[in-house]
Structures are given as C-alpha cells and as structure tokens.
Amino acid sequence: MKSRFAPSPTGYLHIGGARTALFAWLWAKKEQGQFILRIEDTDRERSTQASVDAILDGMKWLGLDHDEGPYYQTDRFDRYKTVVQQLLEEDKAYYCECSQERLQVLRDELMEKGEKAKYDGHCQHKNLTAGVVRFRNPSEGNVIFSDLVKGEISVHNKELDDLIIARSDGTPTYNLTVVVDDHDMDVNCVIRGDDHINNTPRQINLYEALGWGLPDFAHLPMILGGDGARLSKRHGAVSVMAYRDAGFLPEALLNYLVRLGWSHGDQEVFSIDEMIDLFDLKDVNKAPGSFNQDKLIWLNQEYIKSADIDHLVDQLDWHLNDQSIDISNGPDITNVIDALRERSKTLVEMAQSMKMFYQDFDQFDEKSAKKQFKPAAEPIIKALIDHYSKLEDWSSAAIHDVVKTVCDEQSVGFGKVGQPFRLALSGTGNAGSIDIVAELVGKDRTLARLQMALDYIAQIDN
C-alpha cells in the first residue's frame, strides 16, 4: 500500500492541502504502507523555492513524515519525454498545431450553440511532427471507476477532450506527469481533493493506453468557510504555518483537520494513534466540511491542558523567541506552564502571560489600575508588603496564609486584597492563582511590584 501527497509549490501549505496530506498519511499508516511526498513543480513560472520550503516546513511542523521523497517532477523530464514519445509512436497521441485564435473561435462557437467547449480533433489525422502533443482519447464508451469516497462514477468518453500532454516546448502537463509518477512510484491509492475529480477519467484513459494497472482513487470533499463559500484567504489564516504563529499545537490542528470530512461516532478528541487506528476512507463524508475556528480553539485548549510538558516547552520555544521572552532569569518554565495551562487558549496567550514571570514592567494596565489602585487599597498593599518582607518560607501556602491574615486584619473580603495584588503582580490583572504566581515570580520581584502599586496610588493622591 502506497499513498502520496503531491502539492504544486505555487503557494504555502494551506488548510485544504494539509487535510489532504493528513488523510493520505493516515491511510498509509493504517495500512502499514508507505507515504510519498512529491513536489509537482513542472509549472516553472508559478513554482517557487519559497513555496517548496513552506510546504516542507508545514509538513514537518504537523509531523506528517514521508517514507519516500520529496521527489521533484522537474528531475523527471526525461522520463516524461520518453512516455510522450512512446504514445506518439503507438499513435495514441498526435501533434497539433492549432493556433490559440482557432481554438478560441472554436470555443466561442460551441459555447454559443450551448455545447461543451471541446477540441474538435482538427489535427487528429494530419501526421504533424511539431506542436503540442494531444492524447488520442477514445471516442466511444464510458470511463467507469469506483471512487473510495464518492462511489461509482461514470463519464462518457464523448465528454472528454483530446488532452494536451506536452506543450510545444516539449514540457509535459499535469495529467501526464501525475499518471507517470503514480505508476512509476507504485502509488496504489490516489487520495486528493475533489477539485481533481474531472481529471480522473482522463488519467484512467492514459493508464489504459499505457497498459498500466489502475490505482484506487479517493476524492476528498472540499472545505468551506463559515459562510458556505470555499475556504480561502478571505476567511482568515489559511496557511498551516499561520496557525503555528497564532499559537496552535500541531496535534490540535491535526485533530481538527481529521474531523473536517470524517467522523467516528460523536467523538471529537483523537490522539494520533487513535486516528490511525480508527480512520477509514469509507467513513469520509461526501459532503463538504465547514471550517469552524471556535472548535479549533476549543481543541487547542484541550490539548494545551493535557499535553506532555516537554512537548509544550518545545512548542513554546518559537513563541518565546517571537515575543522576545528570555526565560534564563526566572522560575523553571515547566512550573510556569503548569500555572498557566488551564487558562491559555493558545500558546501566544500563554507566552504573553509568561512575561510576568520573566520580565519586569514599568506600567500597569491603565484601566485596571484606575479601578484597583484606589486610596482604599493603600493600607492593604502596605500590609501585604509588611508581611511578605518578613516571610521566610516563600511558598504558595504561606503566601496564601498572608492574604487571609490581611483580609482579617483589614476586615475586608478576599477580593479586596486579591484583586489589587493580582494586578500588582501581573501588570495586566491577567493571572491565575495569585499565591502560585507570587511564589514563581519570587519574593524580590513581588515586593518590588507591590511597591510600584503603592507608588501609583501615591501619584493619583496628589
């Protein structure tokens, strides 16, 4: 069993491509087969090295490793030429020199008559020796195949053009290269987006003309944006790496992608092993899936809560760099992650919240400060400073006891102490359990920040 992912490097790896790659990868894993990565870069004008890199980066980040490749079609031009030559020699293909103008006139005429725009076979019997090469498509009968997702599909050969398989400069076209590659690379299950389903009958005719056995085909339904239109840039970040940048974990994105067009009962959370175990092309939906950002965020949160700590440390690395957070001077990052993981929707948020543990700030969030640092808070903060400067055992339990003592001494409820304390510690008011945060922030920094809160109050007093 061999499947493949065959992207054209004309842009980054987008969500639709990643979903196709995931399904092909899962199928190979499930069948204990091989997964090939093939870069379809024959369109030299639109293919770029930057896109190749973006695809490789995206696949790597998602952990969709390949057993073979990456193969590059531009390395295989000689092979394609040989196949085109063979088809010409066997009269299964012919040269055509129809001009663009002639083809345009033909198209317009057919369209006007309400017919399908299709090549009329003008050069079929001219025995030309130059021009584009067209495949002699059978004119009778149907092409019938059983798609593993869509079921039986039948197309009459009358519907199919004499397809161009090589341009006049000799370079091969997609439908030829894909057939040659899938055959040569022993791919026996072609899994791809259903935007290619119209190509499949043409490709089947090519396989047959070449006397090659057919692979299975599975065409995946497209992905729609929330508004029902095909998912595109308009719907926000669609590049896989943009999700990394926005703070998603790769396994959360994979889990999200696997549910776009596939389901197993009403289960929502799947580990990679479970996906491999349960995935079946038979269960892929025929109807398009709709992208739902809220669900992705929910999954991400679930994964952040339960992920292995070392994995989170690895995944956070990029974000710490991105937000210029140096963790060498401060608490152990694993303790900080544990303090924050219950309340972080994304790694971007988590990294933002990490700043309070590693960076001092010189300003409080203005709106929160106006609310929390009123003159009434002054004796409370003074009392906290007083107790904490004497506290030897800088543990969350002892820190918590002090908060309780101050509540009693000042005859106020917990909120009156906790809220200004939280703002003093975090600068933003956004922090989890204050005793744990204070323990991790450390005694000196805690005292300095409480003093800064006092200074703030003194300055509004005047």
Q: What string of DSSP letters covers 308-333?
A: -HHHHHHHHHHHHHHTT--TTSSS-H
Q: How does strand 164-166 pair with strand 189-193?
A: unpaired
- Is the CB of 179 or the CB of 304 nearer to ligand GLU? 179
CB of 349 to ligand GLU, least distance (A): 34
- Is the CB of 192 or the CB of 341 nearer to ligand GLU? 192
8 binds ligand GLU per the rule CB under 6 A? yes
CB of 171 to ligand GLU, least distance (A): 15
Identify the H or E element spanning 103: helix 100-112
Kindly indicate which of the ranges 6-14, 339-347, 362-370, 378-386 contains the residues binding ligand GLU, using the contact rule CB under 6 A: 6-14
| CA gap 271, 128 in Å, rounded | 58
14 binds ligand GLU per the rule CB under 6 A? no
40 binds ligand GLU per the rule CB under 6 A? yes
CB of 187 to ligand GLU, least distance (A): 10
Cβ-Cβ contacts under 8 Å for 298 (sequence gap 6 or more): none
- Is the CB of 50 or the CB of 111 nearer to ligand GLU? 50
15 binds ligand GLU per the rule CB under 6 A? no
178 binds ligand GLU per the rule CB under 6 A? yes
- Is the CB of 8 or the CB of 419 nearer to ligand GLU? 8
304 binds ligand GLU per the rule CB under 6 A? no
- Is the CB of 173 or the CB of 300 nearer to ligand GLU? 173
Kindly indicate which of the ranges 4-12, 217-225, 265-273, 308-316 contains the residues binding ligand GLU, using the contact rule CB under 6 A: 4-12
Residue 280 neighbours by CB distance under 10 Å: 13
Return the half-sphere exposure (C-beta side, CA atoms, 13 A cut-off) of residue 121.
9
Kindly indicate which of the ranges 2-10, 46-54, 220-228, 375-383 contains the residues binding ligand GLU, using the contact rule CB under 6 A: 2-10
Give the total residue count for the chain.
462
Q: Please, which of residues 194-213 interact with ligand GLU by CB under 6 A?
A: 196
36 binds ligand GLU per the rule CB under 6 A? no
CB of 96 to ligand GLU, least distance (A): 24
Tell me, by CB under 6 A, how many residues bind ligand GLU: 7
| CA gap 70, 59 in Å, rounded | 11
Residue from the set 2, 136, 150, 192 that interacts with ligand GLU by CB under 6 A = 192
Residue 52 has which token pair?
């190749």
Identify the H or E element spanning 379: helix 378-390
Alpha-helix residue ranges (DSSP H) falling in 132-199: 174-184
Distance of CA 43 to the CA centre of its chain: 24
Return the half-sphere exposure (C-beta side, CA atoms, 13 A cut-off) of residue 209.
25
Kindly indicate which of the ranges 1-9, 211-219, 324-332, 416-424 contains the residues binding ligand GLU, using the contact rule CB under 6 A: 1-9
* Pair 127, 138: CB distance under 8 Å: no
Residue from the set 2, 3, 6, 71 that interacts with ligand GLU by CB under 6 A = 6
| CA gap 56, 4 in Å, rounded | 14
- Is the CB of 6 or the CB of 87 nearer to ligand GLU? 6
* Pair 75, 109: CB distance under 8 Å: no
The DSSP output letter for 88 is: H
The contact set with ligand GLU (CB under 6 A) reads 6-8, 40, 178, 192, 196
